[in-house]
Amino acid sequence: MGTAFWCIVEDDRKGQPKKVMAEVLTEAGRLSGGQAEAVWLTDKAAPDGLERLAEWGASKIWLLESPALAPYRGEAWVPVAAALVSARAPKAILGPVTSRQREFLARLAARLGVGFAADTVGLELDGDTLVATRPVYAGKLLSKVTWAKTPWVASLRPNVFKAGDPQPGRAPVVERPSFTVPDATLTLVERREEVSTGLPELTEADLVVSGGRGLKGPENFVILESLASVVGAAVGASRAAVDAGWRPHRFQIGQTGRTISPKLYLGFGISGAIQHLAGMRTSKVIVAVNKDPEAPIFKIADYGIVGDLFEVVPALTEEFKKLLGK
């Protein structure tokens, strides 16, 4: 059995790894004593993308480059990755929670006949085993799980694990093993891009501004968007606002929507139903603005203002502008 911790690279589909890989590589390096290795399945890796992985802590990069690997299809990726696992026997295989890795890692674990822990928020070695911490039951409880054998396969919730300082100038060590991609039966027919809001993607954003029923109507999200554009935040919504048809479902934060862990979450006119808290309670700093002092969200908020959001949001926007010199 090897000792390396593999990190499956999530990229922007244009040859650059996503910054969440810094978190995964840092965590893998911490647990393996510096043996964090990146495994990159892609049609095209940019050279500076390889450098970036090295700077973020990849001691080695397994580059599996082939046009047949894009777009992502589990049927194509899993056999390729599994063959490399058999040859190299990593101790662990980690990846960030993303739309493709949540499927890929589960399939890979099934192919390898090993355990898989999804959406972990903590990883610790206990003797010669790994123990992962995962929120369960809408985040009301934490479950500690462990594996019967290696490789330990787990996905890591973005924005939870700390990314270390990059090591500029560190040269990438790239291995290009030979491999064959089996034919996939899935074919991509079309990709529909969402209309870009110019704001960050909800699950990747460091800052999230979110609105609920207190917004009173879809037209009022404009005030949240202007606050968001000042601070560079993504805009989310509660289930109440989504169910009322004010925002599309992809903006919903909560148990039946997206799970986020930004550095700063600002909730406006959101009462804080359990189902919403499930999607944002691992945020580092939580700010709540609600006119009802009894709103449950105040119980988990670090800072709260009891007041009318239609007065508070513009005032906050002004203060942030001053702070950020905009």
By CB under 8 A, what part of segment 91-150 binds another protein?
98-100, 102-104, 106-107, 109-111, 113-119, 131, 134-149
Interface with another protein includes 231 (CB under 8 A)?
yes
Interface with another protein includes 48 (CB under 8 A)?
no
Interface with another protein includes 263 (CB under 8 A)?
yes
> Coil, strand, or helix at residue 94?
strand
Interface with another protein includes 43 (CB under 8 A)?
no
Interface with another protein includes 36 (CB under 8 A)?
no
What does R_g of the chain's alpha carbons equal in angstroms?
21
C-alpha to C-alpha distance for 325 and 114, rounded to whole angstroms: 52
C-alpha to C-alpha distance for 297 and 108, rounded to whole angstroms: 39
Interface with another protein includes 246 (CB under 8 A)?
no
CB of 287 to another protein, least distance (A): 7
C-beta of residue 45 within 8 angstroms of C-beta of residue 59: no
Q: What are phi and psi of 6, to 5 degrees?
A: -90, 145
Nearer to another protein by Cβ, of 130 and 174: the residue is 130
Nearer to another protein by Cβ, of 63 and 153: the residue is 153
C-beta of residue 56 within 8 angstroms of C-beta of residue 33: no
Burial 272-301 (b: 16+ CB within 10 A, else e): bbebbbbbbbbbeebbbbbeeeebbbbebb
CB of 18 to another protein, least distance (A): 9
Nearer to another protein by Cβ, of 149 and 162: the residue is 149
Tell me how long the chain is. Answer: 326
CB of 34 to another protein, least distance (A): 26
CB of 31 to another protein, least distance (A): 17
Nearer to another protein by Cβ, of 59 and 155: the residue is 155
